[in-house]
Amino acid sequence: MKSTFTIIALLFCSYGLLAQNAVSATMGKAILSHGSNPKTIAGKDTVIESDTTKENKEPQYFYLSINTDVFVNTKGGVAKRFSPALEFGRTYGIFDIGLATGVTNTLSRGNDTAHYIEFRPTINIFSKGRFNEGLCLGGGYVFNAKQGLMTEICNSINFNVTTTVTVAVTQGYYFFDGTNSSRSTQYMGFSVTYNFLRAHSTNKRRKKAAIISDN
């Protein structure tokens, strides 16, 4: 009877040791798996978060605008009323920083010229799909003019025809100040802007996303 009991006890102990080894091996694998998974998941989450952050960044690109303004409260013909200009600048999301050059009219006035250069920051204050409204506050100088200091305030309604071409209707005021005199004039205008966006670039995708986001 003692021998039988001893054999049974030995078998029970052996079974217990085997079971314990199996549990230890299983737990080891689980611990290893648990230790490696966070790295994989964390890596994946980091990539997703990084990509999402990049997509949420606002587009940045250079642009060139052709502006054709016409003074509406000035006496005279087309030559005295017409004020063309070129503007080159860079867009930072909803904010544009540009440098414009043009003439206040196309008449020749001798030494008192009409040529000017102007710094024009513009901010988009409202957007809906392809449409947006801009507000600009500019300051510049008219070369060799008696009223050389020039300031501008204007607003525009812009339509993005494509990601690279935008047309706008503008309305605003010019203020000219000199040592002994000053004057102001109102204008209406039309402009065409070309955005320098490379095909399949990240900024072009961001620009397209901004256009269609509210459609």
- pLDDT tens per residue, the chain (215 residues)? 545 545 555 554 554 544 455 544 554 544 444 444 444 444 444 434 344 444 457 889 999 999 999 999 888 888 889 999 999 999 999 999 999 999 998 876 656 678 999 999 999 999 888 999 999 999 999 998 889 999 999 999 999 999 999 999 999 999 999 988 999 999 999 999 999 998 888 988 988 888 876 55
Asked whether 172 and 181 are in contact (CB, 8 A), the reply is no
Three-class DSSP category at 144: coil
Predicted local confidence at residue 38, as pLDDT: 44
What pLDDT is stored for residue 39 in this prediction?
Answer: 43
CA distances from 152 to 59, 84, 119, 172, 186 (A): 26, 15, 10, 7, 10
Closest CA to 132 of 168, 162, 100: 168
The predicted pLDDT at position 199 comes to: 87
> So what's the pLDDT on residue 207?
87
Report the first-to-last Cα separation within the chain, whole angstroms: 90
Work out the angle between the directed axes of helices 2-56 and 202-212 (0-180°, nearest 10): 80
